[in-house]
Every structure is written in structure tokens, then in C-alpha cells.
């Protein structure tokens, strides 16, 4: 039996009088490719911020590998294996690409030496090894996205949360990123993909959850989701 890796139960988040998440529940199984979609402002990134610990939630429970992580700080969730990437890449600008990876290797994965060899290995997996000694400011858009992903990998994730890793990429580049993500999943990393590019998320996900206005409105296989009238209504209106 595949057990639940991440269990979110009745998660609620308010910003002042605005309810960004209203009792959202979902569970992600170990090894799964999970898609999270929804129109702009539906609460996808808020949900990710709550799961990764960047925001504290106002209600509900988050469990990872059966352990309650609702109240623990973000850096400890990362050490447990919940690692996210940022929608807008946030590289450590004063460091080289390689040094960017050394931080999570040292702090999250507990590498004892300086981790340079391992960092290089990860860059090779992602296809960024030629840029190891350049600074993030000199990278192209897709290279920046790859750095974001490589740095997350250096934290040794069990669950990788990819927040719009493909925004702004060309169609060919999207395929390239998808190939990388498929390969990571084959290695046993569970992946939650948040994406606006429907082609990518529908191709990638085994199961999709749709959020709208802070509530979960649908769940199912990609095929079922595209035929769901509630989803159509959320995206296109009545």
C-alpha cells in the first residue's frame, strides 16, 4: 500500500478579513506526481507557503510522514524533506551557482565536508555544470529556473514542491524542465507541481486538485478534471 506522505487537513489562512484558504484538505502519496491548479488568486501559493512554513496557518493540521509539522519552523521542515522552489527565483546573488548549492547541502542535508563534489553532481543532473562558477545575475531565464530546482535538490527532498517552475519559458524549454522533473520522480522524489501551463501540468500529474477562491473544488485524474463542469466554471465563469 502506498502511504500518505503529506496530509493536509482543513487548512485555513486569513489575511485580515480575507480568507485565502478555507478548510483545504488534500493528501499526497509517496512517489506521486501531484498537480495543484486554480485561477489566479485561488490560494495555490498561500497553500504552499503554509506547507513549507513560510506562513503560519490559522487552522487545520499538516502532517508529513505521519508527523505533525503544523507548528515547526520552515528550516526544520526542509530538513525533514519538504522542500519548495520559488515562483520568482530567489538565488543567493553574492554566491556562485555552486556555492548556492552548498548552503542546503550543509544546512539541510547535513553534508560534513564542503559538499562541492556533491553540488557538482547535482548540477550535472540538471544540466547546469558549465555555469558552476558564474554568479546568478549572469544566468538566462531557464538557467535561473534550473538553479532554483538544483538548489532545492541539494536539500535532499522527499517532497519537492515546484511553484510555477515553468512560467516564462518557451515550449521547448517547458519540455526540457518536464523531462528533468520526470527523471527526479523516477528516483523516488514525490513532486507537487503548481503550474499555469495546462499542457505541462496535465501531462505530468497523476492526480490533480483544483483550488478556487481558497476552496478545493475538484480532484481527479487530469482527464476527469478537464471535463469537470465546476472547474470549467471556475476558469471561464458561467
Give the footprint of another protein on this chain (CB under 8 A): 52-54, 73-76, 78-79, 83-84, 86, 90-95, 99, 102-104, 106-109, 151, 154-155
CB of 213 to another protein, least distance (A): 26
Q: Report how far Cα 29 is from the mean position of its chain's Cα atoms.
A: 15
Q: Which is nearer to another protein, 79 or 176 (CB)?
A: 79
Q: Which is nearer to another protein, 92 or 235 (CB)?
A: 92
CB of 3 to another protein, least distance (A): 25
Q: Which is nearer to another protein, 90 or 124 (CB)?
A: 90
CB of 231 to another protein, least distance (A): 30
CA quadruple 209, 213, 214, 220: dihedral, nearest 10: -10
Q: Which is nearer to another protein, 69 or 108 (CB)?
A: 108
CB of 77 to another protein, least distance (A): 9
Among 202, 204, 206, CA closest to 226: 202
CB of 61 to another protein, least distance (A): 21
Sheet (strand 59-64) strand order: 18-29, 4-15, 59-64, 67-68
96's grid cell: 556562485
| Rounded-to-integer distance, Cα 3 and Cα 109, Å | 24
Per-residue three-class SS string for 27-38: EEECCCEEEEEC
Q: Which is nearer to another protein, 54 or 213 (CB)?
A: 54
- Provide the b/e sequence for 175-194 (b: ≥16 CB within 10 Å): ebbbebbeebbeeebbbbbb
Amino acid at each position: 500500500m502506498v502511504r500518505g506522505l503529506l496530509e493536509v487537513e482543513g487548512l485555513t489562512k486569513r489575511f485580515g478579513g480575507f480568507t485565502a484558504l478555507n478548510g483545504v484538505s488534500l493528501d499526497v502519496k509517496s512517489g506521486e506526481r501531484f498537480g495543484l491548479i486554480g485561477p489566479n488568486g485561488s490560494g495555490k501559493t498561500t497553500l504552499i507557503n503554509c506547507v513549507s512554513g513560510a506562513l503560519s496557518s490559522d487552522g487545520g493540521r499538516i502532517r508529513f510522514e505521519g508527523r505533525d509539522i503544523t507548528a515547526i519552523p520552515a528550516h526544520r521542515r526542509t530538513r525533514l524533506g519538504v522542500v519548495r522552489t520559488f515562483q520568482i527565483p530567489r538565488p543567493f546573488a553574492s554566491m556562485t551557482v555552486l556555492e548556492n548549492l552548498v548552503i542546503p547541502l550543509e544546512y539541510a542535508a547535513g553534508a560534513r565536508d564542503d559538499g562541492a563534489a556533491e553540488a557538482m553532481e547535482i548540477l550535472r543532473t540538471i544540466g547546469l555544470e558549465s555555469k558552476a562558477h558564474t554568479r546568478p545575475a549572469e544566468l538566462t531565464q531557464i538557467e535561473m529556473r534550473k538553479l532554483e530546482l538544483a538548489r532545492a535538490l541539494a536539500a535532499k527532498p522527499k517532497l519537492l514542491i515546484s511553484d510555477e517552475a515553468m512560467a516564462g519559458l518557451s515550449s521547448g524549454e517547458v519540455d526540457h524542465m518536464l523531462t528533468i522533473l520526470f527523471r527526479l520522480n523516477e528516483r523516488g522524489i514525490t513532486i507537487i507541481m503548481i503550474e499555469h501551463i495546462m499542457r505541462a501540468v496535465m501531462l505530468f500529474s497523476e492526480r490533480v486538485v483544483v483550488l478556487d477562491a481558497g476552496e478545493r473544488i475538484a480532484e481527479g485524474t487530469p482527464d476527469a478534471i478537464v471535463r469537470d463542469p465546476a472547474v470549467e466554471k471556475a476558469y471561464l465563469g458561467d
